[in-house]
Amino acid sequence: MAKCVCVIAEFRNGNFRRVSFEVASEGKRVADALGLELYGVAVGSGVASKAAELGRYGVRKVLVRDDPALENYLAETHVPIVAEMVGRLDPAVILLPASVDGKDLGSRLGAKLRVALVQDVVQIVCEDGRVRAKWPIFAGKCFAWSEWLGGTLPVISCRPNVMSCREPDDSFAAEVENVDVPIPQARSHVKAIDYDTSGKVELSEAEIIISGGRGMKEASNYSMLEELAQLLGAAVGASRAAVDSGWRPHSDQVGQTGKVVNPDLYIAVGISGAIQHLAGMGSSKYIVAINRDPDAPIFSKADYGIVEDLFKFIPAFTEEVRKHKSTCS
Amino acid sequence: MNIVVLLKQTPDTESVIRIAGDGKSIVTDGLKWIINPYDEFALEAALRLKDKLKGKVSVVSYGPPRVVEALRTALAMGADDAVLIDDPVLKTADYLRVTKALTAAIKELNPDLIFTGSRAIDYDQGQRGAIVAENLDWPHLALAVAVDCDGSVVTIERPIEGGKVILESPLPALVTFGGAHAIWNPRYASLPGIMKAKKKPIAMKKVTDLGFDPANFEPETARIRITSLEKPAERKQGRIINGDLDVVGKAAELVRSLHEEAKVI
Ligand SMILES: Cc1cc2nc3c(=O)[nH]c(=O)nc-3n(C[C@H](O)[C@H](O)[C@H](O)COP(=O)(O)OP(=O)(O)OC[C@H]3O[C@@H](n4cnc5c(N)ncnc54)[C@H](O)[C@@H]3O)c2cc1C
């Protein structure tokens, strides 16, 4: 088969995850720059009937392995199957999502194929047929650019929410080919899987995040932030101080030893702005800081600062947002 | 039960990162070094398992002699012995070669379980664990926020976007650790622990001790390299929403700014 750019799409719970479309869109840009076609690879239960959707984002043809046994991601089964399918395509570049499962699949796939993966990439540049990739290091305190040497196949996992999605072209469906790769015998297995059905917005995917820190004083006060989050369609995050105090679950921690987030809007409430916290949210498009201490370091990163007692300000702000929403709709 | 903990020494999270004169590495003078927090979580989990099942915890790392300090800390926390691959050829080797050397060092210890961080807070590639598992042809369970083992099966909880997965594997297996300080609460080294650690063995190895030809680690064998580092773009100077307004006024002005200027609400 002619050389191509290959995207590995992530399929879960009967649908492609949105990040798959971001990666396909970026894949199309890379393919155009290199003068190559864009192909896809997808594994999952029920994926065959959905795979044509990837065509809307520029994928010409998708190889799929569809089997009920592949419902849940497991490195031991998914990696050998993807490796086999990628081998058939003989791509010049591989792109995949830097999602939880994508990062896992990518690292083991890279080792299996003996090629070099760069994770969490935020920018890809193609010059003279060569690919370079940029990713954040030290939790965003700095960025690194890397290049591949000696003809090594570049494998790139793309950070969610960074690469823009193409306008989907509904007139275009990808060709879908079922490939009959055997499902490997695994030693490990998925014992249980549990989806949060509360409708809570996922921190790493949220466009707006409202985080509360030690200034929130106690767990029950977060209901204020949750009410505001509901109005804005936002997710609620926390500083380490709040998580260590047991007010919020560890999965809400933003920072160098928590989630690194890059929403359109990050609202820091009662957070001082320690270097470890700034590392995790410093690349947000807009930052609002609400703190009663005018010297809090968080203000140095904020686009809009409010020097106020949060217990007075948040209720007033929530009310103004409510008014704004009702006049807009 | 033999547990190997693979750990890396990283700059302290407080560190201000500066780009060195070569444009592709960081200034290390004056940095404070710590055990990568996620590797510390892995070590804590290993020590708890050792308390439960008995056995031995070995720590394996690579890097220059300063890494001995991280290993001493691990020994003081309760690990039994340590291996450091301190070989200048690794300095220019890519991570694929480095993990090869690490895999060889681990094999010599004949573990039932390998624990390591899901990521390192420096270059943050999160690949080491999966690569070592692939090199060994072992199953790996990634991103544990809870772990249990009865001596023959290991079970973890793995958070995924919008949910969680319980994964299980027979031994031998490799587990990578995620989560946060609030979950693992790594123990501090006690004074008696620090005294004892002074007598615990740290084996220093070169790649030749692990059966490799150093030529296989020369820079020209690298498949990938960092070409440059750059600082994030400076953020535009923001503004404090003015003190002349009362709370409601400030709230209204913030809503207006976010809607009309930033266009995010
Ligand atoms: C290894 C390591 C890793 C770490 N990783 C992380 C990480 O991932 N994420 C993280 O967040 N931290 C991390 N930290 C911790 C970090 O150093 C700080 O301790 C932490 O971020 C502080 O949280 P905070 O801003 O909520 O609390 P504080 O620093 O105590 O700040 C509270 C702020 O609230 C303000 N305030 C109080 N009351 C009010 C009120 N009524 N109205 C308005 N403002 C009010 C105060 O003025 C103050 O600025 C890490 C530390 C270490 C050592």
A166 in Cβ contact with A313 (< 8 Å): no
What part of A 269-328 touches B (C-beta under 8 Å)?
Answer: 275-276, 279, 282-283, 285-288, 294, 299, 301-308, 312-313, 316-317, 319-321, 323-324
pLDDT at position A329 over 70? no
**All residues at 6 or more sequence positions from B51 whose CB lies less than 8 Å from its CB, including other chains:** none
**A265, amino acid identity:** L
Tokens, residue A261: 């987030």
| Residues A54/A55/A61/A66 CA torsion (nearest 10 deg) | 30
* CATH of residue B66: 3.40.50.620
Choose the final residue of a domain: A127, A144, A178: A178
Is the residue at B127 inside a domain?
Answer: yes
**All residues at 6 or more sequence positions from B256 whose CB lies less than 8 Å from its CB, including other chains:** none
Strands B56-62, B33-35: pairing is unpaired
Cα–Cα nearest to B98, from B185, B223, B187: B223
In the prediction, which pLDDT does A20 show? 97
In the prediction, which pLDDT does B242 show? 84
* CATH of residue A255: 3.40.50.1220
Contact call for A324 and B227, based on CB within 8 A = no
Does B83 lie in the same domain as B190? yes
What range defines the domain where residue B22 resides? 2-221
Q: Phi and psi dihedrals of A92, rounded to 5?
A: -95, -25
Does B264 lie in the same domain as B200? no
Is the residue at A115 inside a domain?
Answer: yes
In the prediction, which pLDDT does B146 show? 98
In the prediction, which pLDDT does A2 show? 54
Alpha-carbon span B118 to A221, nearest angstrom: 32
In the prediction, which pLDDT does A140 show? 86
Is the residue at B157 inside a domain?
Answer: yes
Angle ∠(B263,A125,A26) on CA atoms, nearest 5: 60
Lowest-confidence pick of A293-297, B58-62, B198-202, B243-247: B243-247
In the prediction, which pLDDT does A137 show? 94
pLDDT at position B73 over 50? yes
Alpha-carbon span A193 to A78, nearest angstrom: 17
Does A89 lie in the same domain as A229? no
Task: Measure A312 CA to nearest chain B CA, in Å.
Answer: 7
Could you report the per-residue pLDDT of A149-189, keeping only the tens digit for each?
A: 999 999 999 998 889 999 999 999 999 999 999 999 999 99
Does A125 lie in the same domain as A65? yes
In the prediction, which pLDDT does A196 show? 87
Is the residue at A193 inside a domain?
Answer: no
If you average pLDDT over every residue of chain B, what do you get?
Answer: 96
Does A214 lie in the same domain as A171? no
The percent of residues in chain A predicted with pLDDT above 70, rounded, is 99
Does A214 lie in the same domain as A150? no
Q: Does B168 touch chain A (CB under 8 A)?
A: yes
Does A149 lie in the same domain as A212? no
Q: Does A100 touch chain B (CB under 8 A)?
A: yes
In the prediction, which pLDDT does A155 show? 98
Could you report the per-residue pLDDT of A66-113, keeping only the tens digit for each?
A: 999 999 999 999 999 999 999 999 999 999 999 999 999 999 999 999
Does A173 lie in the same domain as A125? yes
Is the residue at B186 inside a domain?
Answer: yes
Is the residue at B228 inside a domain?
Answer: no
Does B115 lie in the same domain as B157? yes
Does B150 lie in the same domain as B176? yes
Which residue is listed with tokens 């083991």? A108
Is the residue at A93 inside a domain?
Answer: yes
Does B244 lie in the same domain as B148? no
**pTM for this one?**
0.96
Does B162 lie in the same domain as B123? yes
Is the residue at A185 inside a domain?
Answer: no
Does B170 lie in the same domain as B242? no
Is the residue at A194 inside a domain?
Answer: no
Is the residue at B254 inside a domain?
Answer: yes
Could you report the per-residue pLDDT of A256-269, keeping only the tens digit for each?
A: 999 989 899 999 99
**Residue B262: which of A152, A286, A294 has the nearest Cβ?**
A286
In the prediction, which pLDDT does A1 show? 44
What part of A 50-89 touches B (C-beta under 8 Å)?
Answer: 72, 74-76, 79
Using a 10 angstrom Cβ sphere, with 0-12 exposed, 13-18 middle and 19 or more buried, the burial of residue A324 is: middle
Does A122 lie in the same domain as A244? no
* CATH of residue A173: 3.40.50.620
Spell out which residues of chain B touch residue A147, defining contact as CB-CB under 8 Å.
224-225, 227
Is the residue at A197 inside a domain?
Answer: no
Using a 10 angstrom Cβ sphere, with 0-12 exposed, 13-18 middle and 19 or more buried, the burial of residue B213 is: exposed
What range defines the domain where residue A85 resides? 4-178
The percent of residues in chain A predicted with pLDDT above 90, rounded, is 91
Number of Cβ pairs < 8 A linking chain A and chain B: 269
Is the residue at B227 inside a domain?
Answer: no
Q: Does B245 touch chain A (CB under 8 A)?
A: no
Spell out which residues of chain A touch residue B183, defining contact as CB-CB under 8 Å.
250
Q: Phi and psi dihedrals of A125, rounded to 5?
A: -125, 135
Does B210 lie in the same domain as B241? no
When pLDDT is averaged across residues B76-91 and rounded to a whole number, the result is: 97
pLDDT at position A118 over 70? yes
Alpha-carbon span B113 to B6, nearest angstrom: 11
Does B246 lie in the same domain as B212? no
Does A207 lie in the same domain as A171? no
Question: A172 C-alpha vs ligand 1 centroid, how far in Å?
Answer: 49
If you average pLDDT over every residue of chain A, what do you get?
Answer: 95
Is the residue at A124 inside a domain?
Answer: yes
Alpha-carbon span A318 to A227, nearest angstrom: 8
Spell out which residues of chain B touch residue A238, defining contact as CB-CB under 8 Å.
none
Is the residue at B103 inside a domain?
Answer: yes
Confidence label for B243 from pLDDT (cuts 50, 70 and 90): confident
Contact call for B38 and A257, based on CB within 8 A = yes
Does A222 lie in the same domain as A147? no
Number of domains in chain B: 2
